[in-house]
Amino acid sequence: MKRIFIITVLALAASLQAGAQKYSGGLVDKTVATVGGETILLSDVEEEVKQRRAGGMASDRDVRCEILEAMMESKLFLMQARLDSLTINSDMVDGNMNQRIDWFRTQLGGDEEVEKYFGKPLYKLRLEWKKALEEQSLTEQEKYQVAANIPEVTPYDVKMYIDTTAVEDLPVVPQKYQLSQICVYPDRQAAAVAVKDKLLSLRERIMNGEKFSTLARIYSEDPGSARRGGELGMASKSIFWPAFSDAAMSLRPGTISQIVETPDGFHIIEVIEKKGDMFNARHILIKPQYTMEDREKAFSRLDSLKTKIGEGEISFEMAAMFYSEDPATRTNGGQMADPSTGSSYFDIDQMKPADYAAIKDLKEGEISSPVESLDNEGYLQGRSGNLVYKIIRVDKIIPAHTATFEKDYTQILDKVQSGKQNEAIDEFLNQRIKDTYIIIDPLFKECDFSREAWNKKK
């Protein structure tokens, strides 16, 4: 039930332990590359190798060459960012660093364990990580600036790309659908009351002497913690939903919370231990459940609407505006949009499986039978959404085809623009490599770098 964060902190793992150290076999840490006024240590490379190995990637000599090349390129962007007097995004750096600290504290079990794992006091780790994140901020800004400086792509550029590219090399646009929906939700209030009654009963049993852990194993619907008796482990309060962490932090160890509602469902919580802004707790999670009666009632209502639309009593758009319970689509006649792009066209892999199964055999203008699906609530947090019943109309089908100027201008425009941005970045790097004082240690003399300009510097 932990919240999902888009954490960029691991991207800088190569900078975690850049201090002097001795490796097995007696090899002492050393500078393996100098790029202008910037240096890269062997320990930088080795730390990145560890991260890749942890992710299941190979860690042979070629990987070390690849890592060193990426680090040297980053140094070139960093040098230019400083020359351009770019400023660090302090809010982003602080936010990412706090997420980084919280992630390691949670994974390792607190401040002391973090210090033991890295062999450094936390204040020193904060300083090192802040410096690395500040450099990343400047590097990414400079890379964006280089890419953004390309001339504006025009319709002529798009037309030239299509006319001069072999047909077999042009992108193939997958089949797309434009869809509208009418949604009905089950009775959430009744389901919530049932869940609360069940949790109140469990809470009473715990207060009367039954073990929280035993009941969590039996009843909790959080599979990750249920097998551990509901225990979540010592973690920063920031990784949980605010309502959950606020309730946990307000409890004394050994006491049981009242019912707490989060987007995951309803909980009761027992705090085991608290340290600063971290805590270890047990919880029992129960999610609202809906009955076959809810489904049949919703399907009957949707079938009735479908019949009225088919007989011309009401248009689909008017029915959506008056009867749909989805606020995101009812105001525009039920038309659906991809939550990640805002586009009204869906590829097959962008659709929910239940939605695609309902419309895959329909023609334009046809309406599906009622289907049980999920809404988009919590999409940005990585949640799957709430149960919803719906009928879906296929407004338009665009068959799969080779991209054309007339039908796919925007998609080709993006491809041409991306190509020109990559060319600008390549040109920047090749020129900076040529003009910059660079030394690569003989330890990496056998590397076959992907950019030939690096190979000339060995």
- The confidence band for 25, taking pLDDT boundaries of 50, 70 and 90, is very low
CATH number of the domain at 383, please.
3.10.50.40
**What does the pLDDT read at residue 242?**
93
Q: Are residues 183 and 202 in the same domain?
A: no
What digits encode the pLDDT tens for the residues 28-63?
A: 689 999 999 899 999 888 877 766 765 556 555 588
Report yes or no on 445 lying in a domain. yes
Q: Are residues 277 and 302 in the same domain?
A: no
The number of folded domains in the chain is 3
Question: Beta partners for 371?
Answer: 390
322 and 201, same structural domain?
Answer: no
Give the pLDDT confidence score for residue 380 in this predicted structure: 56
CB 36 within 8 A of CB 59: no
Bigger pLDDT: 215 vs 114: 215
Residue 43 shares a structural domain with residue 146: yes
* Averaged confidence pLDDT in the chain: 87
Looking at residue 382, its pLDDT comes to 61
Q: How many CB atoms lie within 10 A of CB 189?
A: 9
Instruction: Provide the residue count of the chain.
Output: 458
* Side-chain-side CA neighbours of residue 40 (13 Å): 30
Q: Print the domain residue range for 228.
A: 189-286
Q: How far is CA 192 from CA 219, 285, 383, in A?
A: 16, 13, 19
**350-362: average pLDDT:** 94
Could you tell me if residue 165 is inside a domain? Answer: no
pLDDT digits 0-9 by tens, 104-135: 888 777 888 888 877 788 888 888 889 889 99
Residue 205 has pLDDT above 60, yes or no: yes
Contact 439, 209 (CB under 8 A): no
Residue 405 lies in a domain: no
Q: What's the distance, CA 364 to chain centroid? A: 34
Quick one: 224 and 144 in the same domain? no
Inside any domain, residue 33: yes
**Burial class for 218, CB neighbours closer than 10 Å (0-12, 13-18, 19+):** exposed
Beta bridge partners of 438: 35
Given the DSSP bridges, would you call strands 38-41 and 265-275 parallel, antiparallel or unpaired?
A: unpaired
Verify that 221 and 354 share a domain, yes or no. Answer: no
Residue 167: inside a domain, yes or no?
Answer: no
Per-residue pLDDT, 383:
66
Q: What is the mean pLDDT of residues 188-204?
A: 93
Per-residue confidence (pLDDT) for residue 397, from 0 to 100: 95
Domain boundary among 232, 259, 286: 286
What pLDDT was estimated at residue 7?
27
pLDDT for residue 227 is more than 60: yes
Q: Are residues 222 and 272 in the same domain?
A: yes
CATH of the domain at 18: 1.10.4030
- For tokens 């962490």, the residue is 245
| 24/384: higher pLDDT | 384
Q: What is the mean pLDDT of residues 141-152?
A: 93
- The encoded tokens of residue 79 equal 């040098």
Of 253, 270, 286, which residue is a domain's last? Answer: 286
Q: What is the Cα–Cα distance from 301 to 191, expressed in whole angstroms?
A: 19
Would residue 163 count as lying in a domain? no
Which of the four pLDDT bands, split at 50, 70 and 90, describes residue 103?
A: confident
In a domain, 259, yes or no: yes
Pair 439, 376 in one domain:
no
Looking at the structure, tell me whether residues 66 and 112 fall in a common domain. yes
Q: Kindly give, in sequence order, each residue whose CB lies less than 8 Å from that of residue 77, ignoring residues fewer than 6 positions away.
A: 138, 139, 142, 143, 146
How does strand 265-275 pair with strand 278-286? antiparallel
User: What confidence tier does 230 reach under pLDDT thresholds 50, 70, 90?
Assistant: very high
d(CA 139, CA 260): 43
- CA–CA distance, 241 with 264 (Å, rounded to integer): 9
**pLDDT tens digit string along 251-278?**
999 999 999 999 889 999 999 999 888 8
- 321 assigned to some structural domain: yes
Same-domain pairing of 331 and 182: yes
φ/ψ bin of 40: left (φ > 0), alpha (ψ from -120 to 50), beta (otherwise): beta
- Ranked by mean pLDDT, the top range of 70-74, 233-237, 261-265, 410-414 is 70-74
Q: What is the tens place of the pLDDT at every residue in 391-435?
A: 999 999 999 999 999 888 988 999 999 999 999 999 999 999 999
* Out of 48-57, 173-182, 190-199, 386-395, least confident range: 48-57
Q: Are residues 31 and 130 in the same domain?
A: yes
Structure tokens at 150: 């390309």
The last residue of a domain, from among 286, 311, 333:
286
More confident residue, 296 or 14: 296
213 shares its domain with 81:
no
Under 8 Å CB-to-CB from 451, ≥6 apart: which residues? 69, 73, 429, 430, 433
How many Å apart are CA 362 and CA 112, to the nearest integer? 60
Q: Give the span between the Cα atoms of 180 and 409, in whole angstroms.
A: 24
- What is the structure's pLDDT at 247? 95
| Contacts of 398 by beta carbon, 8 Å cutoff, 6+ apart | 173, 175, 176, 177, 178, 345, 407
